[in-house]
Amino acid sequence: MNIATVPLSAIARPRQRGAASELHAFDSGRGRHVLVVDGSRIYDVPDGVDEASLLSTLRRDERAIGDEIPLPPVNALALAITQRCNLACGYCYADGGHFGGDDEAPMSWDVARAAVERLLDNTTPGSSASLAFMGGEPLLNRALLMRTTEHAAALAAPRGVTMRFALTTNATLVTPDDAAFLARHRFAVTVSIDGERELHDALRPTRGGTGSYERIVVRVQPLLAALPVSARVTVTPRHTALRATLDHLIGLGFHSVGFSPSLSAADPRLALSADDLERLLAQMIDCAREAESRWRRGERYPFSNLLAAVQELHRGTHRPLPCGAGAGYLGVAADGALSACHRFVGDPRAAMGSVATGIDDAARRQWLATRHVDTQEPCRSCWARYLCGGGCHHEVLNRGRPACDFIRGWLDHCLGAYVRIADERPDLFD
């Protein structure tokens, strides 16, 4: 457990400049605690003690982030195997999968094969590699998805490499045969679905203008029966009853349900404003409190935002970047161009080479150096920086950081929840 009790003698008022950003005090309802930013360490604080600094009494943690980030091998790729979609979601950052371009040609076998082989060239026996299929709607290029998966599995096995596969889909095209194939290769499947019928259909209509909810509910059944499936909700200003949406999707049989705020949307009316984010925080905390209550009673309540947060806190997550984009993870466009992640397809700001010419390590080094949380403002003075990592690169570069207060508010709640859950349900961390 990442919690320690601090003796009274270890508490002192902060005196050095900037010390406040190195600590965050919070109350779990069962006592006072402090997060030491360096190392993401959580300590219990005795009652009756004023706001305190531990910096003078605690040595620098071994996990602390330095000025440089070693360039890791690329062990994960996301293949944009289609450049079109059968839905017309109003907030879609990818413009239906072709990112504003005119070409809707799907990825070819030559590009997919080259991507797999380049990925596996970076592996060693006993390691693992990940391959995700995205788009557009990936199942519009079903044949390539299956052929690429089988090719990767066949190449990885004799090398002693564990392949992990993932699919993000709108589920409108799933067949029983698809479900069997995905289960056989142990895919991690995420279904994009935005809630109850009326809400979902308003946000995610088909290109013909009809709703997609009913088709998803029917088509997803073989998937739900075959393997754990996650639901991902893109939260817009139209989401005003988040817990009802959460309960609805859990009731449909999804193994986990997570919410992702719409910060950068094709339709600006579907991007959350500061007031929207304040309301969203209240709704997220309401969902979290319900999850805690259910877990306390021994019930299953798969609210993935909270579960992931407390598990990260338990591990002592301490990161200088929000994700692996540009580090161990790259996106592959239909033409084979490499970018920092699947959201930057076709964006020269995050170009990282191609599967034909190779990975541009110089571009990766520059990306990691400039995106490091300690080089970002106002991140470098924020107590949440090593838990947040600075925010999604794509959203920050396209809209800035409108969600900082939301993120801090959510993390503050999760810190208190972690202390309570660690006491009552330590099995959730097994």
Q: How many domains are there within the chain?
A: 1
Residue 52 resides in a domain: yes
Least confident of 24-38, 48-62, 244-258: 48-62
Residue 378 resides in a domain: no
Sheet-wide strand order for 32-36: 3-5, 41-45, 32-36, 23-27
**Residue pair 332/356 in contact by the 8 Å Cβ criterion:** no
Residue 157 resides in a domain: no
In whole angstroms, what is the distance from residue 76 CA to residue 144 CA?
Answer: 18
pLDDT at residue 412 is higher than 80: yes
Read off the pLDDT of residues 73-101 as tens digits, 9 standing for 90 and up: 999 999 999 989 999 998 987 665 455 56
Q: What pLDDT is stored for residue 282 in this prediction?
A: 98
Give me the domain span that covers residue 14: 1-64
Q: What is the pTM of this model?
A: 0.90
Q: What pLDDT is stored for residue 12 in this prediction?
A: 29
Q: What pLDDT is stored for residue 398 in this prediction?
A: 87
In whole angstroms, what is the distance from residue 399 CA to residue 382 CA?
Answer: 19
Residue 25 resides in a domain: yes
Residue 37 resides in a domain: yes
pLDDT at residue 188 is higher than 60: yes
pLDDT at residue 57 is higher than 60: no
Residue 264 resides in a domain: no
Cα→Cα distances 191→257, 349, 392, Å: 10, 29, 20
**Residue pair 416/35 in contact by the 8 Å Cβ criterion:** no
β-bridge pairing 329-332 and 128-134: unpaired
Q: Which of left, alpha, beta for 18 (phi over 0: left; psi -120 to 50: alpha)?
A: left
pLDDT at residue 4 is higher than 60: no
CB crowding 11-32: b at 16 or more within 10 Å, else e = beebeeeeeebbbbbbebeeeb
pLDDT at residue 15 is higher than 50: no
> Phi and psi dihedrals of 165, rounded to 5?
-120, 145
- Work out the percent of the chain whose per-residue pLDDT is above 70: 88
Residue 14 resides in a domain: yes
Q: What pLDDT is stored for residue 8 in this prediction?
A: 27
**How far is the first Cα of the chain from the last one, in angstroms, to the nearest whole number?**
11
Residue 24 resides in a domain: yes
